[in-house]
């Protein structure tokens, strides 16, 4: 395999795209129903140069695309909440659940191929996906039942996902 030399901050920059999810998760509908606090995205610092394999590059690109897809779903949910359109909240929550479920299957392809230094970050991203999946479930339930407790539970899972996303970036090389 060919190896590409890149600065870790570039790698982490791509992974940190997923951190944008945190802002979307903590905005809009969820903020109306559950008290949340904003988790700041770590600022990249200059890090030593790492050797990046083709598989590492594929994984990083996959995280960026997955993060964008999830952020899009969360934006749709937020927009539906702003309109108080609980039918759309339910629909978009199901879309989020499907996208996250697909991502949880796809992430397995990177289990034995990415560099060891990137594996802890991958584990945290997988935990974030699991929390997003649970958050989507409770958001959908809240939209169906209009039960504030479901939205509070959703908010808790989304905050937890945000924490895992922050750790994903830190473990990939971000320093606070």
What are the DSSP calls for the chain, one per residue?
A: --EEEEEHHHHHHHHHGGGHHHHHHTSTHHHHHS---PPPPPPP----EEEEEHHHHHHHHHHHHHHHHHHHHHHHHHHHHHTT-HHHHHHHHHHHHHHHHHHHHHGGGGTTTS-GGGHHHHHHHHHHHHHHHHHHHHHHHHHHH--HHHHHHHHHHHHHHHHHHHHHHHHTT---
Of 57, 73, 69, the C-alpha closest to 14 is 57
Average the pLDDT over 30-58 and give the result.
53
**Which pTM was predicted?**
0.73
Give 94-107 pLDDT, tens digit per residue: 999 999 999 999 99
What is the percent of the chain where pLDDT is above 70? 70
Average the pLDDT over 103-121 and give the result.
94
Domains in the chain: boundaries: 3-37+46-171
Token pair of 169, please?
Answer: 């970036």
Residue 29: the pLDDT is 40
Residue 174: the pLDDT is 58
Contact 124, 167 (CB under 8 A): yes
Residue 169: the pLDDT is 82
Residues making up the chain, counted from first to last = 176
pLDDT at 141 over 80: yes
pLDDT at 90 over 90: yes
Average the pLDDT over 15-22 and give the result.
42
> What is the C-alpha separation between 104 and 31, in angstroms, rounded?
26
> What is the C-alpha separation between 19 and 16, in angstroms, rounded?
5
Average the pLDDT over 109-134 and give the result.
94
pLDDT at 131 over 80: yes
């Amino acid at each position: 395999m060919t190896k590409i030399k890149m600065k870790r901050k570039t790698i982490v920059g791509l992974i940190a795209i997923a951190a944008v999810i945190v802002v979307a998760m903590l905005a809009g509908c969820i903020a109306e129903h559950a008290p949340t606090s904003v988790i700041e995205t770590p600022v990249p610092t200059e890090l030593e140069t790492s050797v990046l394999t083709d598989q590492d590059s594929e994984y990083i690109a996959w995280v960026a695309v997955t993060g964008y897809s999830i952020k899009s779903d969360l934006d749709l949910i937020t927009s539906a909440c702003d309109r108080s359109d609980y039918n759309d909240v339910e629909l978009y929550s199901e879309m989020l659940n499907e996208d996250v479920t697909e991502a949880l299957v796809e992430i397995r392809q990177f289990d034995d191929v990415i560099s060891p230094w990137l594996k802890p970050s991958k584990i945290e991203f997988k935990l974030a996906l699991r929390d997003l999946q649970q958050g989507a479930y409770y958001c959908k339930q809240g939209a169906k039942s209009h039960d504030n407790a479901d939205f509070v539970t959703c908010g808790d899972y989304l905050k937890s996902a945000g924490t895992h996303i922050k750790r994903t970036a830190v473990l990939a090389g971000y320093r606070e």
